[in-house]
Amino acid sequence: MGRRKRRKGGTLKDGERRQLARASRHGPAPLPEALVRRNIRADIERVAKAGTYPVVFEDLEVFASHAPFELHVTPQAIAGGFYRRLNGLQGHNHTYYSGAAFHSHNSTRIWNAAEVLLKSIAA
């Protein structure tokens, strides 16, 4: 994405600027990659056409799917002790776990929990 057409394989001239932007797509279920790519392009072109921002879609520089994301269990499973059993795995076979499955999709919480976990292992 950029203000000017990029020459494939070429370098930028003095004063020429290329802008990169991050776009993400979310849905209740994994979406086909081709559809996501098309939608991102269509959104950027709509912004350009409306004149909201002087942007030109050239290509997707990097594309990565994060699906499946936010895997979760049912309320019934939680009530039935899912997290009690999950946390019960900590230390079994000298193995410890960390990540969103144990907390939530929040990096701060995950790092804080890892710090607590490391201290408990060292104690």
| Contact residues for ligand FAD, defined by CB under 6 A | 24, 66, 69, 99-100, 105-107, 110
Q: Rounded to the nearest whole angstrom, what is the least distance from the CB of residue 62 to ligand FAD in the complex? A: 12
Q: Rounded to the nearest whole angstrom, what is the least distance from the CB of residue 101 to ligand FAD in the complex? A: 6
- Contact between residue 24 and residue 41 where contact means Cβ atoms under 8 Å apart: no
What amino acid is encoded at 98 in this protein?
A: S
Q: Which residue is nearest to ligand FAD (CB)?
A: 99
* For ligand FAD, the closer CB: 19 or 106: 106
Residue 117: exposure state from Cβ atoms within 10 A (0-12, 13-18, ≥19): middle
Q: Rounded to the nearest whole angstrom, what is the least distance from the CB of residue 60 to ligand FAD in the complex? A: 14
3-class DSSP assignment, residue 44: helix
